[in-house]
Chains A and B, each alone.
Chain A
């Protein structure tokens, strides 16, 4: 047992089993742990308590329109041998269903009140570099403008981030193009790199340091650091997919009438899967409910998608009645207008929209087609 805590920015090694101590420390500090677990044929994010809840020895195979989970023999002692699954952290920070406020009629007048549930304290276990970048993007969208989303702010302010460097990549990954990964570079409390026998831990904050209490940590050796570097170098080497970004947003704005929008519309089902799995897509709608006499009512915010027909409904008609116009809205927002709106791309290169598209539409390939001069 180490007598003191590792300092911020230190790299230390812990036996893999000691991660349980970090979990216990987090729980003792009042955090609810959320992390990856294998369920329903996928790696999903859910409440976890123990090391056993992590998907030990599971790996994923992803391609356009395809996701497959399998046990791996060559990585059977690894807890993080997969990449990103269908879930992302936005479901905890920006929940798909959230009660905004209630209304009650008292003596004939409406009184509005905020829900009184205290905001949760989440510890996110196993956040990948691309997803950490996605959280940063949602921070800009929901916290950095004239208005701030208090629901997001209260969840976000309490989050403890335990990040993980990727050691492999899937054919859908392109974080290197979006400059978000595969190595975690900031915005975490602790960052793990999984080595054969130990976790190398980079301490990113005071809170992170405190959660290393009683973990029998030891300073990392030059050998450990070299091994860790090879982990994310391996992931980087495996990334084959590429998206050119230096001509964005112009390449989209200049091609809003490109014939390729019609072509992609023949394949796109407008099912909204891409927006659901995207870790940055933030659009919402609202639902109103009341009792029969309409004396008690409440407002609920729900995840929405620009692929839904009603999304652009106005009195007198629908602004985007065609799949062509809805796909164009999605891609042009993600890769172009997002930059104007928030000073960052809306894409982190996680590849989820490619994997979970039922017909395997690839944002990288569609963008390439749209920037290529049409041949008549």
Chain B
């Protein structure tokens, strides 16, 4: 196919919507209906060229089923194998959940804005996640913990509906040892649960934190993030020190399909990670 104008895209210069084949290396169950699929591009040149930043996402394509936007949940310093923590929610994710190690699927990316790790150097971090919202923050945690001395205090406030919905619980011990203060809550406990019960924003009441020199990073349901922002602001964290990751329907990830518009922003281009000060006029607006 001829392209009449010089290509400027840095990814696929021929067609930014064409996926590249990738092979599933490992499948790990994480929680009820949630799996981490680790995959590597089939073509070694793709593997060498691909780099991502924490918070960015890929489009995963299962032929005949469709495409889904999934954050990369693995370590950005090991970009040869890409982890995607997927909750079975619709047709495509259900189809992906039936794949086995060695199967191929299409991958293109990475897309979107990253978490502000460069600005975070030397600062305290408060990472607040709800449910599957921990997946896009896991690369932040892994990156921060491998350069732990570059940051101040690092807090994780994490919650899910039930203990069975908590992600990465097997890693919490390692994270704590590496210097992450992990605080966990669930909306509803079970007979074995001895931890906190309550919604995620309530975890702010159990931790002492500095508001100065602190960045808050949050991802989860919008209603949760609204109250996380409320709690962070109440503790005098400035608006422009709060970062949130947004979700909208997305078909193309390259700004063509129009589905992910959020006021003047495209979630796939200016987002998914936004500085709260930049989207405050629209955030929380009903049906927007």
Contact = CB atoms under 8 A, between A and B. Distances in A.
Interface in A115-160: 115-116, 118-119, 141-143, 145-151, 153-154, 156-158
Interface in B17-31: 17-21, 23
Given A109-B42, A112-B20, A150-B15, A294 B5 contact: no
A112 B15 CA distance: 12
A332 B285 CA distance: 14
A67 interface: no
B15 A101 contact: yes
A323 to B, nearest CB: 10
A285 interface: yes
B21 A146 contact: no
Interface string A336-356: 110011000000000000000
Nearest to B88: A315
Contacts of A153: 3-5
B256 A311 contact: no
Residue of B11, B63, B87, B266 contacting most chain A CB atoms (<10 Å): B63
Contact of B5 (A105, A108, A157): A157
B255 interface: yes
A311 B67 contact: no
Interface in B260-288: 261, 263-264, 266, 269, 281, 285-288
A283 interface: yes
Contact of A290 (B3, B63, B252, B257): B63
A306 B258 contact: yes
A156 B63 contact: no
A284 B269 contact: no
Nearest to A341: B264
A285 B14 contact: no
A322 B287 contact: yes
Nearest to B281: A253
A321 interface: yes
B44 interface: no
B4 A154 contact: yes
B89 interface: yes
Contacts of B179: none
B1 A150 contact: yes
A372 interface: no
A147 B64 contact: no
A282 interface: yes
Contacts of A256: 285, 288
A284 B1 contact: no
A52 interface: no
A48 interface: no
A149 B258 CA distance: 13
Contact of A297 (B64, B287, B288): B64
B246 to A, nearest CB: 10
A282 B256 contact: yes
A163 B45 CA distance: 47
Interface string B1-13: 1111101111100
Contacts of A116: 1
Contact of B16 (A147, A299, A314): A147
A107 to B, nearest CB: 10
A341 B262 CA distance: 11
B221 interface: yes
A324 interface: yes
B15 A284 contact: no
A284 B256 contact: yes
B2 to A, nearest CB: 6
B66 A288 contact: yes
Contacts of A285: 251, 257, 259
A286 interface: yes
B228 interface: no
A324 to B, nearest CB: 7
A256 B283 CA distance: 12
Given A148-B7, A157-B4, A314 B261 contact: no
B63 A103 contact: yes
Nearest to B9: A147
Contact of B252 (A141, A284, A288, A311): A284
A106 to B, nearest CB: 10
Contacts of A156: 4
A306 B260 CA distance: 11
A316 B104 CA distance: 28
Interface in A262-300: 282-286, 288-290, 294, 297, 299
B200 interface: no
A110 B90 contact: no
Given A143-B5, A154-B3, A312 B249 contact: yes
A114 B2 contact: no
Contact of B8 (A148, A306, A332): A148
Nearest to A291: B64
A68 interface: no
B63 A110 contact: yes
Nearest to B250: A314
A227 interface: no
28 contacts: A101-B15, A109-B21, A110-B106, A112-B18, A112-B106, A114-B15, A118-B2, A141-B255, A141-B256, A146-B8, A148-B5, A151-B15, A153-B4, A256-B285, A288-B64, A311-B249, A311-B259, A312-B248, A313-B249, A316-B221, A319-B287, A320-B288, A322-B287, A324-B287, A333-B261, A337-B263, A337-B264, A340-B264
Interface of B: 1-5, 7-11, 14-21, 23, 42, 61, 63-67, 87, 89-90, 102-106, 221, 247-249, 251-252, 254-259, 261, 263-264, 266, 269, 281, 285-288
Given A110-B105, A149-B256, 15 more contacts: A110-B104, A118-B1, A146-B255, A147-B11, A156-B4, A282-B256, A284-B257, A285-B259, A286-B252, A290-B64, A294-B63, A314-B248, A315-B87, A337-B263, A340-B263
3 closest Cβ contacts across the A-B interface?
A157-B4, A290-B64, A283-B258
